[in-house]
Amino acid sequence: MPYRPTPRTEARKARVRERIVGAALAQLADGGYASASVQAVAARAGVATGSVYRHFPSKRDLFTEVFRRASGRELERMSAVAADTTVSARERIAAAVEVFTRRAVAAPVRAFALIAEPVDPAVEAERLAFRSGYRDVFLEVIEQGIEAGEIAPCDAPTVAAALVGALGEALVGPLAQPAVRGGSHEPLVATLVQFALGALPAPVPTPV
Domain boundaries, the chain: 7-198
- Distance CA(17)–CA(68), nearest Å, equals 15
Is residue 9 scored above 80 in pLDDT? no
User: What is the average pLDDT value for the chain, to the nearest integer?
Assistant: 91
Torsion region of 92: left, alpha or beta (phi above 0 gives left; psi -120 to 50 gives alpha):
alpha
113 burial via Cβ count (<10 Å: 0-12, 13-18, 19+): buried
pTM check: above 0.95: no
pLDDT at 182: 56
pLDDT 10s digits, 135-192: 999 999 999 999 999 999 999 999 999 999 999 999 999 988 755 555 678 999 999 9
The model's confidence at residue 37, banded by pLDDT at 50, 70 and 90, is very high
28-55 mean pLDDT:
94
- Distance CA(78)–CA(134), nearest Å, equals 8
- Distance CA(22)–CA(3), nearest Å, equals 29
pLDDT at 181: 54
The CATH class given to the 7-198 domain equals mainly alpha
pLDDT 10s digits, 43-73: 999 999 999 999 999 999 999 999 999 999 9
pLDDT 10s digits, 82-139: 999 999 999 999 999 999 999 999 999 999 999 999 999 989 998 999 999 999 999 9
